[in-house]
Amino acid sequence: MYKVKGKEYPCCTSVTMGIIGGKWKTVILFYLIEGPLRYNELKKKMAGVTERTLSLQLRGLEEDGVVKRKVFTAKPPMRVEYSLTDFGKTLVPLLNAIVDWGEFVATNYSDTK
């Protein structure tokens, strides 16, 4: 049994999936690899995600210490920017492997072949 940030996991893979699992978390992380993005920029890149889901997923990633939220209030209108934390950046090799595998599958096993 593994215990991370007050949550218990039955194995090490469940730790990983507990942090990045789900339909949208890896997509969010993929877009943040290149650098910080505002909420609306993320929303535009992620066709099909609802505002509620995006907000909840970002909050979860923030709670797990993978994403940081920075609020700029210096001049109106207020804006919020999301970026990977140093801890979140440790996921980049894993995310790149997921991207590579997805491209392999899409290229070699697509329905159009």
Residue-wise pLDDT tens digits, 29-83: 999 999 999 999 999 999 999 999 999 999 999 999 999 999 988 877 888 999 9
- Taking the C-alpha atoms of residue 59 and residue 69, their distance in angstroms, rounded to an integer, is 9
Q: Give the CATH class of 23-108.
A: mainly alpha
Statement: residue 95 has pLDDT above 80 = yes
pLDDT score of 84:
98
Task: Give the whole-angstrom CA distance, residue 109 versus residue 106.
Answer: 6
Q: How confident is the model at residue 110 (pLDDT cuts 50, 70, 90)?
A: confident
Mean per-residue pLDDT, 97-101: 94
The pLDDT score that the predictor gives to residue 75 is: 79
Structure confidence at residue 32 (pLDDT): 97
Q: In what order do the strands lie in the sheet with 37-38?
A: 37-38, 79-84, 67-72
How would residue 113 be classed by pLDDT, with cut points 50, 70 and 90?
A: low
Kindly report whether the peptide bond that precedes residue 77 is cis, defined as omega within 30 degrees of 0: yes
**pLDDT class for 103, splitting at 50, 70, 90?**
very high
pLDDT of residue 112: 65
Tell me the HSE value of 44 on the side-chain side, using a 13 A CA sphere: 5
pLDDT at 79: 86
